[in-house]
C-alpha cells in the first residue's frame, strides 16, 4: 500500500492530553512494552477519529497490524468515553449560562433497507439519533448517547431525561419545531404557515431562528470529526465514540 502523510487539523494540546491519559493507563495495567509509544498511539487514534482513516490505512501508515490498530483505538476510546460529562454534570455547568440550545442530529451509518429501526423518515437515511446541547455562543456542552435513527427528537429528549434536567435547573432552552409539546423550559417557534401567523408570531419565529441557528455550530463541531460523517462500525460502539470526541473537544476548549 502507498502511504501518504496527511495533516490532522487539531491543536497539539489534544495530542498531549490523550497521550497523558494513555500513559496513565499503561502504568495502571503494568504494560512493559508496546509497538508504539503513547505519543504515536495518541496520534493514531486522533487520525482515526478526526480524519476517519480506516484500520488498514492506519496500519500501513504506522507500521503495525490492523489488530493492533483496533486494540489501540478501542483502549483510547474507552478511556475518553469514561471521562465525558453526563447530563447532570452538563446541566450544572449550563446553569450559569443565559440559555442553552437543544438540537438533534443524525449520524449516518452503513445499513441496509431491512434495518427499519435505524431508518429516519425525516432524513430518509439510516443513522443514529444524537441530541446536542450548546451554549449561547454555539459551543458544544453535551452530546447524548446514540439512539436508532427512527426515534423522533422529542422522544429522544424524553428518553435521555433532557427536558426534566433542564427544567429542574430552570435553564431556558431554545429548540426547533421537532420539540413541540416538550413543556418545561423548552421554547419552540410557533407552528403554522408563515402567512397565517400574526405579526408578533412572525417576529418571534425570526428571533427564535437566529438564536437556534447558533446550535447548528455545535452540530457542525461534532461532525467536523470525519469519522462521524459515515459510521461503518457496530451501532453499539457509536455512543462511546461520541463521548470520546466530546471529551477531546471539551479538553481542547478548556
What are the pLDDT digits (tens) for 28-73?
Answer: 999 888 899 999 999 999 999 999 999 999 999 999 999 999 999 9
Distance CA 35, CA 155 (A): 46
Model pLDDT, residue 117: 86
Is 80 exceeded by the pLDDT of residue 232?
yes
Q: Residue 187, class by beta-carbon neighbours within 10 Å (0-12 exposed, 13-18 middle, 19+ buried)? A: middle
Is 80 exceeded by the pLDDT of residue 251?
yes
Model pLDDT, residue 1: 60
Cβ atoms of 188 and 176 closer than 8 Å: yes
Model pLDDT, residue 133: 97
Model pLDDT, residue 4: 56
Model pLDDT, residue 173: 96
Is 90 exceeded by the pLDDT of residue 169?
yes
Distance CA 183, CA 172 (A): 11
This prediction's pTM: 0.92
Amino acid at each position: 500500500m502507498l502511504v501518504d502523510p496527511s495533516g490532522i487539523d487539531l491543536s497539539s494540546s489534544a495530542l498531549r492530553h490523550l497521550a497523558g491519559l494513555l500513559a496513565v493507563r499503561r502504568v495502571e495495567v503494568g504494560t512493559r512494552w508496546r509497538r508504539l509509544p503513547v505519543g504515536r498511539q495518541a496520534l493514531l487514534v486522533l487520525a482515526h477519529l478526526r480524519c476517519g482513516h480506516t484500520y488498514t490505512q492506519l496500519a500501513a501508515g504506522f507500521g503495525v497490524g490492523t489488530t493492533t490498530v483496533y486494540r489501540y483505538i478501542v483502549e483510547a476510546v474507552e478511556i475518553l468515553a469514561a471521562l465525558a460529562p453526563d447530563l447532570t454534570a452538563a446541566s450544572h455547568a449550563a446553569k450559569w449560562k443565559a440559555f442553552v440550545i437543544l438540537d438533534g442530529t443524525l449520524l449516518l451509518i452503513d445499513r441496509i433497507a431491512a434495518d427499519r429501526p435505524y431508518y429516519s423518515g425525516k432524513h430518509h437515511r439510516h443513522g443514529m439519533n444524537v441530541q446536542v446541547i450548546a451554549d449561547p455562543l454555539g459551543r458544544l456542552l453535551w452530546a447524548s448517547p446514540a439512539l436508532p435513527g427512527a426515534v423522533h427528537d422529542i422522544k429522544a429528549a424524553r428518553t435521555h431525561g433532557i427536558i426534566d434536567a433542564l427544567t429542574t435547573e430552570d435553564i431556558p432552552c431554545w429548540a426547533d419545531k421537532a420539540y413541540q409539546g416538550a413543556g418545561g423550559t423548552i421554547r419552540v417557534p410557533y407552528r403554522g404557515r408563515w402567512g397565517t401567523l400574526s405579526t408578533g408570531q412572525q417576529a418571534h419565529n425570526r428571533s427564535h431562528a437566529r438564536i437556534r441557528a447558533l446550535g447548528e455550530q455545535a452540530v457542525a463541531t461534532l461532525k467536523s470529526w470525519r469519522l462521524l460523517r459515515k459510521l461503518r462500525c457496530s451501532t453499539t460502539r457509536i455512543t462511546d465514540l461520541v463521548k470520546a470526541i466530546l471529551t477531546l473537544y471539551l479538553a481542547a476548549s478548556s
